């Protein structure tokens, strides 16, 4: 797991990047909305990697690269730019940025570039073709992605603490359109009432974002238990497979 600083003046772009990194097992240590904040946060946190937007109010991405590389020549910075900003990207690379991403971004592209910059040989992002679908492990959850369909696999090891990162990831998915989500409890036999209530809120959030959601479990007793609790959204949609 690597510590990442996300720099972008767009709240939506920051949230999308945070979601991608969270799904991939990385940790976003902070977010900045301009280059000045990025420089200060880099000095304070010393992250493993930075994603840097180019056009931002105040200190832009190019100036931020200059400031960070001046103080930390080995800093790993990935530029995030629009298609018409290629000249600025090349300038950033000459100044010391390691790589770049062109908007619109995809999860696969982001993780591929991050892996190259960090020297990670195996992808951390769970893809449809190589996911094991085995949630009965110490992993609290997995998110599989295939085009605009996401499958959230939940295990019995899900805790309120690990739910925080799961919820952050889901909040980022709400901007995907069209959005299709499958919540899979697999063989999970029980979860605490507070967690079930939180998952119910996730279901309602997806529906509120005009997404389609399917909730399934392989454990019939668990299905009966959840349905008996009359949790709005979750109890109505959960079905056994």
**Is 127 contained in some domain?**
no
pLDDT of the residue at 13: 92
201-230 pLDDT per residue, tens: 999 999 998 899 999 999 999 999 999 998
pLDDT in the model for residue 143: 75
pLDDT at 86: 74
Is 38:64 a contact under the CB 8 Å cutoff?
Answer: yes
pTM of the predicted model as reported, rounded to 2 decimal places: 0.53
The domain tally of the chain equals 2
Question: Where is pLDDT greater, at 69 or 166?
Answer: 69
Residue 208 CB contacts under 8 Å (≥ 6 apart), including other chains:
none
CATH classification of the domain holding 159: 3.30.750.24
pLDDT tens digits along 15-45: 999 999 988 889 999 999 999 999 999 999 9
Residue 117 has pLDDT above 80, yes or no: yes
Q: Is residue 131 part of a domain?
A: no
Classify residue 202: in a domain, yes or no: yes
Write out 64-83 in H/E/C secondary structure.
Answer: HHHHHHHHCCCCCEEEEECH
- Same domain, residue pair 235 and 163: yes
Q: Is the peptide bond before 7 cis (omega within 30 degrees of 0)?
A: no
The pLDDT score that the predictor gives to residue 163 is: 87
Answer whether residue 136 shows pLDDT above 50: no
Output the pLDDT for position 123. 36
- What CATH number does residue 11 fall under? 3.40.50.2300
pLDDT value of position 175: 67
The pLDDT assigned to 37 comes to 95
Say if residue 170 is in the same domain as residue 104: no
Whether residue 210 sits in one domain with residue 104 = no
* Tokens representing residue 41 in the block: 């946060």
128 within some domain: no
The reply to whether 126 falls in a domain is no
Flag whether 130 is in a domain.
Answer: no
Is residue 17 one of the residues assigned to a domain?
yes
Please check whether residues 15 and 97 belong to one and the same domain: yes
Q: Let me know whether 171 and 234 are in one domain.
A: yes
Does 76 share its domain with 152?
Answer: no
pLDDT at 233 over 70: yes
Q: Range of 182's domain? A: 141-240
* Residues 6+ away with beta carbon under 8 Å from 196: 226, 229, 231, 234
Domain annotation covers residue 124: no
Per-residue confidence (pLDDT) for residue 90, from 0 to 100: 86
């Amino acid at each position: 797991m690597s510590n990442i600083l996300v720099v972008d003046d767009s709240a939506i772009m920051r949230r999308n990047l945070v979601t991608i990194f969270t799904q991939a097992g990385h940790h976003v240590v902070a977010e900045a909305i301009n280059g000045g904040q990025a420089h200060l946060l880099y000095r304070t946190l010393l992250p493993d990697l930075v994603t840097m937007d180019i056009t931002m109010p105040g200190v832009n991405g190019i100036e931020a690269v200059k400031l960070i590389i001046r103080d930390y020549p080995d800093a790993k910075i990935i530029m995030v730019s629009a298609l018409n900003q290629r000249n600025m990207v090349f300038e950033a690379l000459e100044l010391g940025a390691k790589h770049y991403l062109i908007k619109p971004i995809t999860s696969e592209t982001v993780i591929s570039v991050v892996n190259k910059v960090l020297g990670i040989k195996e992808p951390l992002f769970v893809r449809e073709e190589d996911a094991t679908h085995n949630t009965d492990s110490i992993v609290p959850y997995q998110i599989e992605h295939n085009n605009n369909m996401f499958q959230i696999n939940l295990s019995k090891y899900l805790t309120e603490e690990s739910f925080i990162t799961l919820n952050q990831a889901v909040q980022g998915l709400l901007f995907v359109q069209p959005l299709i989500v499958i919540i899979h409890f697999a063989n999970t036999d029980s979860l605490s009432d507070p967690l079930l209530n939180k998952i119910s809120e996730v279901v309602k959030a997806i529906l509120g974002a005009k997404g389609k959601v399917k909730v399934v479990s392989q454990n019939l007793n668990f299905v009966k238990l959840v349905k008996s609790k009359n949790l709005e959204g979750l109890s109505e949609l959960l079905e056994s497979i």
